[in-house]
Amino acid sequence: MSTTTAGRPGKVVASDRAKAENRLGLKLVAPAVVVMLVVTAYPMIQALYLSLYRYRLTTPDDKEFVGLSNYLTILSDSLFWQDTVNTVIIMIVTVAIELVIGFAFAMVMHRIVFARGAIRTSILIPYGIITVVSAFAWQFTFSINNGWVNSWFAWLPWIGPDTNWFGEHWPAMFAIMVSEIWKTTPFMALLLLAGLSQVSEDMIEAAKVDGATWWQRLWKVILPNMRAAIMVAVLFRALDAFRIFDNIFVMTRGAQDTESSSFLTYRQVIEQFQLGLGSALSVLLFLTVLLLAWLIVKLFRVDLAQARGEG
């Protein structure tokens, strides 16, 4: 796979040429690395530092070292836990549903012989549309006054013309998750389609000849062979879903306890100018994402290097 390094001088002949190549390589990546670090590493260190202070922008003279007390405040606050639970629920539900629907879409796209361009174009539209716009579209869809959900689904016993989706916790969470699933399923479908096209047709054919049913071929041949693609898709989407912010900001502004971890952090810092407390939240959020990434990689033994042909 990686053929570019073949035939290059090994370490034994650490010639001038190899040294020059090393220097050139470092020079070429330097600008990108600097830009990436300036906006992430420095602010993260700053956040660590600020999180140890009581620091409100409205009363800057009151800045005082408080040690870990910001963390204690947060971890003993039920709002923090409520928001974390919301975020985890949104992440698990949306990724699970996206995986199933995305896989179904990928199967259709894989088999389809006509109108490939049309289907590819339409599946990219939800991916490309900005999240704020998709959130508005779905907010209006579920709107009690102007939405079509209540009239189209009136045949369901629990839906009537005055069903207020944004008036209660679970219906509001449902609407938020629908908007998230709508927008990101196409991305999942595209990744899975790429994985699907790597499963050898011969193997599927052989299984067919051996008398395996469609279901058996799916579970015994297709899915195991696209494990890497599935895991990478799940990892990326899960971490992405954990950062959910735009939809909630637009659709409920956190009303009906639909706030996410990201939203809570934003609110503390930008709306309430609580830089100390907000920074502690930032650090916790960052650590949670790290832990999550580590868990997913360990649990599913995702080999990212292998998945992208590095190994």
Q: Which 102-121 positions form the footprint of another protein (CB under 8 A)?
A: 104-105, 107-109, 111-112, 115, 117-121
Check binding of 160 to another protein (CB under 8 A): no
Q: What residues numbered 184-223 form the site for another protein, per CB under 8 A?
A: 185-187, 190-191, 193-195, 198
Please say which residue, 86 or 141, places its beta carbon nearer to another protein.
141
Beta strands per DSSP E along the chain: 53-56, 59-65
How far is the first Cα of the chain from the last one, in angstroms, to the nearest whole number? 9
**Diameter of the chain by CA atoms?**
78
Q: What's the CA gap between 103 and 194, in Å, rounded?
A: 11
Chosen residue from 141, 163, 184, 258 binding another protein by CB under 8 A: 141
Number of chain positions touching another protein (CB under 8 A):
116
Q: Quick one: which of 249, 258, 259, 302 contacts another protein (CB under 8 A)? A: 249
233 in contact with another protein (CB under 8 A): yes
CB of 244 to another protein, least distance (A): 10
Judged by CB under 8 A, the stretch of 69-77, 78-86, 89-97, 274-282 that binds another protein is: 274-282
Contact between residue 68 and residue 283 where contact means Cβ atoms under 8 Å apart: no
Is residue 80 a contact residue for another protein (CB under 8 A)? Answer: no
Element (DSSP H or E) covering residue 74: helix 69-75
Helix (DSSP H) and strand (DSSP E) numbers for the chain: 15, 2
In this complex, which beta carbon is closest to another protein, that of residue 47 or of residue 177?
47
Site for another protein in 21-60 (CB under 8 A): 21-26, 28-29, 31-33, 35-40, 42-44, 46-47, 50
* Residue 254 backbone zone (phi > 0: left; psi -120 to 50: alpha; other: beta): left
**CB-hemisphere CA count at 13 Å for 11?**
0
